[in-house]
Each structure stands twice: as structure tokens, then as C-alpha cells.
Amino acid sequence: MPVTARARTMVLVGLVAACAWLLAAWRQAALAAEKPSQAPQLVVCPNCRLRKLGEALAAAAPGARVIVQAGLYAEGTVTVNKPVEITGQGYPVIDGLGRADVIRVTANDVTIRALWVRNSGSSAMGDPAAIKAVGVSRCLIEDNRVSDSLFGIRLDQASDCVVRHNELRGGATSASYSGNAIHLWNSQRVVVEGNRARGWRDGLYFEFTRGLRVQGNLSENNLRYGLHTMYSSDNRYRQNLLRANQGGVVLMYSRQLTVLDNRSERHWGAACYGALLKDLDASRFEHNRFAGNSVALVADNANGNVVAANDFVQNGFALRILASSSDNRFSGNAFAANAFDVITNGTRSDNLFAANYWDRYRGYDLDHDGIGDVPYYPVSLFALLLGEYPQAILLLRSPLVSLLDLAERGIPLLTPQALRDTRPLMERPRWSKSSD
């Protein structure tokens, strides 16, 4: 039946054609909607008139849009010295040929988007980075990929910039010959959001910064720290995930930082910790979760901080408070399934512990107000010994240790009696959970 068959084929072809037209029309409309009104646009591609990013930038007027189509652009250092918007399509590779910085931004209002930037210089001279912005305002660096570089994205003396959704692959093998994934120096009011950094020295490094908003980043498997801050103030760190670095959140010589809703996990090994508060003042740690760290939080000469409603779960030591720290307030935290709760090197404690949940607490609550009627002393004798003599780890879970702890609890000789939670919670807060 050839007639019927032909008719059926025609109908089919017609349908396909109609679909294709509809699709094309919709796509056209979408593109039209995306396009800003009158900005001049330059397109760079391996077969275009403009074959190099550098040429396009030279040709571009301030405010121009530069579209970089997929391809390899190996031009050494590309300097962006006028306000332009560079957008990659299909992740064009910008290769620095291992010379110095790959993209160097020296103008305000520059956008760098969706490029794959790689191969910066590797000598420590001048700290070469994949993308470096120096002395600029209002830059936007987003959706880029960075690899094979000493530093990833580096902002010096920048303000009001946004660095977001970048993916940074480091190849760091030793801390002294590697740089940081996102490195901010002497910068203010920068938003660092949703980036992913793996395999650098520090994942996120902020020095002499103010008013940063750092959130939703992932920083893992870095040689040194996940999130490292020095000489900064008034930064907010939210909802970041730090994992399997040597240190998770490491804050030094800073004040008035806010650390909320972050997770710091699996920092294992010699001198590894979920958080280090060194010379940190007047900062807030709230709703963070520390799980599976050798030491969850170390306070060294940290003063006047608030550590509240954090979850300390399955760490070796939950808190290590050095005697130089005072006036810190630990309240409403949950301590569960840690090998040890608190160790300290002093006999006095000028820090306040109140209304925390301790899973080792065996007190009672006669008036049923949810608060234990006898205080909890979170420092055990064995934990103290272990802090001084690491070899004593051999005796972990020995009945002798239980006996010693029991005796010490009865007649305290060595553990600081001032370090106590006078109002321990009876019930574990609902938000606290173990990964059992």
C-alpha cells in the first residue's frame, strides 16, 4: 500500500518541521530576552576575526561584552584594564603558559564568567594566580574553572567584588610550594559564595579583610586549612563545608567574625582540628557541626567569643581550651559520642559553660525543668593525661582509666573544678545528630 505509506511519511515530516520551527523560534526569543539592550559585543573564537582574547580586550570599548567561544587561548598573561564583561561559551581554555598571572584585572567593574583558566606561573615570585584582581572594585568572577595554577583566584586590595560558583582544582603536594584556591588580601565587602576548592594549600584564605560574606563554599582535601582567616574583622561565614583538611575553620588574630551553620568534618591526624580560634576575639560560632575531627575546636588565647548551639559529634576531643583563653561562652551546644569532651592545660577556667548537652552526663532532674540538678565536669583525668602524654592512648577504655576517672571525680586533685557546666541539659537537642 504505497499511497498510505507516503501520506504517513508526509505527515511525519510535517510534524518534525513544525517542531523544529517552534524550537528555533523559542530559542531566538530566549536569546533576545537574555541580551542586554545596547552593549557592544565582541566575539572571540579560533576561526573568528578576533582570535585572541588579548586582541578583543584591546579592541573593546569600556562596558563592552566579550564573548569567548570554546577553544584554546594560550596567550600568557591577559590584562583586563577596562570595565568589560568577559563570558565564555563552552568553557574556552585560557592558558597562561606557566608564565605569571593568567588573567590580571586592574580595572573596576570587570566580569569574568565561565572560563577555564589554567597554567599560571609556578614560581613563588609575585604569587602568580589564575585570576588576579588588584586594587579594583565591583568585580564579578563567576562560574569559572581553575586548574594547574599556584594560586586560584586572588584579590588584592579589592572591594565590593563577588567571587562565586567557581570550581578550583589544585595540585598542591607540599604546603610551601603551593598557593590558596581563593585568596583575598586587604579587601573589603567581597562575597565569596558557592565555590568548590580541592587540593590547594588553603581552600579559602582571607588576610586583612573586612565585611566579607563567605557562604555555601566547599573546601576539602587541602594541604592546610579549609577556611583560613588572618587579621580580619566583621566577616560572616555561613553554610560552608570544610572537610578532610588539616584544619577546618582556622581564625587567627581577628575579631568580630560570625561563623554560622558551617560543617567541619574529618580533620584527622596529628595537629588536626575542626576549628582553631587563635587570638580571636568577640566572634560568634553558632549552629555549626563538628564531626569526626581529632580535635573539634581549639581555643588558644581566644577571648570573649560565643560558641553556642553547635553540634560536636564523634570527635576525638570536642574542645581543647588553652589557659590563655578567657571570657568565652559555651552554651547550648551538644556534645555526643566524642572520645573526650574537654581538655585544658590550666587549673583555672575563666570561660562560661552553661546549658550544654553532654552525653556523658549522668545527673538527675528532680524538678523536671530539663536542666540537670548537679553540675557536669567535662574534663576527665585521662583526657588531661592524654593531652600531656600522647602515649597514654594505649590505655584508652582500660578499666584502670575508669577507676582513675571515678576516683578523680570523687576527690578531684588534678582536674579544674571551675571548668563545669552548672546547668547541663538533660535531653539532647533535636538538631544534634550522630552519623551512627
Partner 1 sequence: MIPMLQLVLRDLWRSRWPAAYGLFLLATSEALFAFGENRAQAVASLLTVTVLVVPTMTLALGVSQCFDWRYCAELLLAQPVRRGAIFAGQYVGLTLVLSLSFVFGVGLPFLWMGLGSRAAAQALAVLLAAGILLTLVFGALALLLGTASEQRLPALGRAFSLALFLCVVYDGILLAAATGLADYRLEKPLLALALLNPVDAARLLVLLKLDVAALTGYTGAVMQQFFGAGAQSVALLPLALWVAVPAALAYRAYQRRDF
Q: Catalog residues that contact partner 1 under the rule CB under 8 A.
A: 268-273, 292-295, 314-317, 336-337, 339, 359, 362, 385-403, 428, 434-436
CA distance 153 to 406: 54
CA distances from 277 to 231, 282, 283, 284, 321 (A): 12, 11, 10, 11, 10
Q: Which is nearer to partner 1, 103 or 272 (CB)?
A: 272
Rounded to a whole number of angstroms, the minimum distance from the CB of residue 183 to partner 1 is 27
Angular region, 182: left φ>0, alpha ψ -120 to 50, beta rest: beta
Q: Cβ 358 to partner 1, closest distance in Å?
A: 11
Minimal distance in Å, beta carbon 60 to partner 1? 53
Report the DSSP beta bridge partners of residue 275.
Answer: 249, 297
Indicate the residue among 213 and 428 with the shorter CB distance to partner 1: 428
- Whichever of 90 and 390 has its CB closer to partner 1, that residue is 390
* Pick 74 or 393: Cβ nearer partner 1: 393
Q: What is the dihedral of CA 323, 327, 328, 331, to 10 degrees?
A: 120
Nearer to partner 1, 302 or 386 (CB): 386
Long-range contacts of 244-248 (CB under 8 A, 24+ apart): 244/220, 244/268, 245/203, 245/219, 245/220, 245/221, 246/222, 246/271, 246/272, 247/272, 247/273, 247/274, 247/275, 247/276, 248/273, 248/274, 248/275, 248/290, 248/293
Give Cα 78 to chain centroid, integer Å: 28
Closest CB 436 distance from partner 1, rounded Å:
4
Minimum Å gap between C-beta 401 and partner 1 is: 7
Q: How far is the CB of 414 from partner 1 (least distance, A)?
A: 12
What's 176's DSSP letter? G
* Beta-ladder partners of 179: none
Cβ nearer to partner 1, comparing 166 with 294:
294
Q: Strand, helix or coil at 80?
A: strand
Q: Which is nearer to partner 1, 33 or 389 (CB)?
A: 389
Picking from 98, 106, 104, 37, the residue whose alpha carbon sits closest to that of residue 65 is 37
CB of 316 to partner 1, least distance (A): 4
> Burial of 21 by CB count in 10 Å (0-12 exposed, 13-18 middle, 19+ buried)?
exposed
Judged by beta carbon, residue 97 or residue 339, the one nearer partner 1 is 339
Would you say 237 or 376 has its CB closer to partner 1? 376
Question: Cell numbers of 140, please?
Answer: 564579578
Residue 232 gets the label, from left (phi > 0), alpha (psi -120 to 50) or beta, of beta
| Angle in degrees, 0-180, between the axes of helices 399-410 and 381-388, rounded to the nearest 10 | 110
* Beta carbon of residue 388, minimum distance to partner 1 (angstroms, whole number): 7
As measured in angstroms, the least distance from the Cβ of 389 to partner 1 is 5
**H or E stretch at 317:** strand 317-321
